[in-house]
């Protein structure tokens, strides 16, 4: 990283993220402007806008539920792996104990 005054700037990773952010903002603004200038009466436009909002809200809710399920599945797998690791460590300790005692005696 390069330091400029008190602020640090990243070389290229930050530029790509910034470009993608501005692209998404531009796409959203363009879509909104297209809807606003479409040849529809105000009442129909508001109805369509409301439907789009509700569809997006439903989709977001579905995505959130799916993400929760995936996180829950992953956390269960991690817990299972940790439990197997503990069992394996205990088994190794039990097998190594006679060897440790024999080494301690000699």
Tell whether 77 and 96 lie within a shared domain. Answer: yes
7 falls in which pLDDT band (50, 70, 90)? very low
The pTM score is 0.41
Are 57 and 29 contained in the same domain?
Answer: no
* Angle CA 29–45–34, to nearest 5: 30
Is 21 within 8 Å of 13 (Cβ atoms)? no
Residue 40 has pLDDT above 90, yes or no: no
Q: What is the mean pLDDT of residues 79-106?
A: 91
Q: Domain of residue 57: give its range.
A: 41-106
96 with 82, same domain? yes
As beta bridge partners, residue 8 has 3
DSSP 8-state class, residue 34: H
pLDDT (tens digit, 9 = 90+) per residue, 46-90? 888 889 889 888 888 888 889 899 999 999 999 999 999 999 999
User: What sections of 1-106 are H helices per DSSP?
Assistant: 13-36, 42-105
Residue 15: count of CB within 10 angstroms of its CB: 11
Number of domains in the chain: 2
pLDDT at 2 over 80: no
Which pLDDT value is given to residue 33?
Answer: 83
Task: Report residue 91's pLDDT band, with 50, 70 and 90 as the boundaries.
Answer: very high
For residues 73 and 91, membership in a common domain is answered with: yes
Residue-level pLDDT at 85: 94
Looking at the structure, do residues 60 and 94 belong to the same domain, yes or no? yes
Instruction: Tell me: do 67 and 87 sit in the same domain.
Output: yes
The token duo for 93 is 């300790």
């Amino acid at each position: 990283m390069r330091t400029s005054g008190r602020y640090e700037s990243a070389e290229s990773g930050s530029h790509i993220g910034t470009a993608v952010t501005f692209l998404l903002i531009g796409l959203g603004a363009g879509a909104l402007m297209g809807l606003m200038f479409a040849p529809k009466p105000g009442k129909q436009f508001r109805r369509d806008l409301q439907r789009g909002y509700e569809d997006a809200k439903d989709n977001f809710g579905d995505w959130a539920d799916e993400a929760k399920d995936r996180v829950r599945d992953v956390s269960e797998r991690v817990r299972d792996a940790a439990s197997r690791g503990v069992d394996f460590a205990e088994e190794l300790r039990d097998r190594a104990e006679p060897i440790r005692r024999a080494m301690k005696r000699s």
